A = this chain, B = another copy of it.
Amino acid sequence: MPQRTATKKVMLEVVKTACSNCNLRELCMPPGLDRREMEKLDELVSSRRRVARGEHLYRAGQHFDAIYAIRSGFFKTDVLIEDGRDQVTGFQMSGELLGLDGISTEAHSCNAVALEDSEVCVIPFSHLEGLSREMHTLQHHFHKVMSREIVRDHGVMMLLGTMRAEERLAAFLLNLSQRFTARGYSPAEFYLRMTRDEIGSYLGLKLETVSRAFSRFQEEGLIAVQQKYVRILSTEGLKKLMSHQRG
């Protein structure tokens, strides 16, 4: 659509950073926008940033001034306390937001690390707030996204507080499957971008326990694993596993 009036100098640039023709827009943006609103939203993204595998998008303590929408790639966030212990607080994939934790104190409270070569859209937070004041739909969408994050965290607390090892891993795999599905990938077959240690940290387990649970699932015919490659053979089996009472 080269006939669109562009505020940026170079047409190529516009096409590159426009939310309005990003194939992730269903994930990032409020639904049901008209053309005018979409174009306004395009202004939100000030730039894009590539983050190579293993590099930090931001670190705990750094000044916060933007949130990030993942355009491609895969991240983890983790927090660490003085004595050296750390915990992975989440894994984020394309279309999801990073950096919401930084709003509260204007400093990031966790580290965000790319688990594969990635690219993010930089959304200066002051722009977002400004545009939110003009666009009710954007405002409401943003509030929903933050709230969803809170609900998600409650789910993880549930997992950590009440589930046993195999239930946690089953919940984790089902969650990944569902998110890959939403992105048009196979629900049953995917590569894990994280190590057993990172999965364990997220699930509150040691890497050996994660590894054993994987093996057990394989023995029982629920999945096929080979290193980071996972194929789910029985979604039902995994779900049933999760609803077993403790004890």
Partner of A204 from B109, B147, B162 at Cβ < 8 Å: B162
Contact A151 B109 (CB under 8 A): yes
Contact A150 B100 (CB under 8 A): yes
Main secondary structure of the interface of A (DSSP, over half): helix
Q: Distance in Å from the Cβ of A238 to the closest Cβ of chain B?
A: 15
Is A104 part of the binding interface, using a Cβ–Cβ cutoff of 8 Å?
A: yes
Partner of A87 from B86, B101, B133, B157 at Cβ < 8 Å: B157
Q: Distance in Å from the Cβ of A132 to the closest Cβ of chain B?
A: 7
Is A161 part of the binding interface, using a Cβ–Cβ cutoff of 8 Å?
A: yes
Each complex incorporates copies of this chain amounting to: 2
Q: Mark contacts of A66-85 with chain B using CB atoms, 8 A cut-off: 1 yes-contact digit, 0 otherwise.
A: 00000000000001011111
With contact pairs A85-B246, A133-B133 given, residues A150 and B151 touching in the complex (Cβ less than 8 Å): no
Complex: chain B residue closest to A89, CB-CB: B154
Residues of A within 8 A of B (CB): 79, 81-87, 89, 100-105, 109-110, 129, 132-134, 136, 139-140, 143-151, 153-158, 160-162, 201-204, 243-246
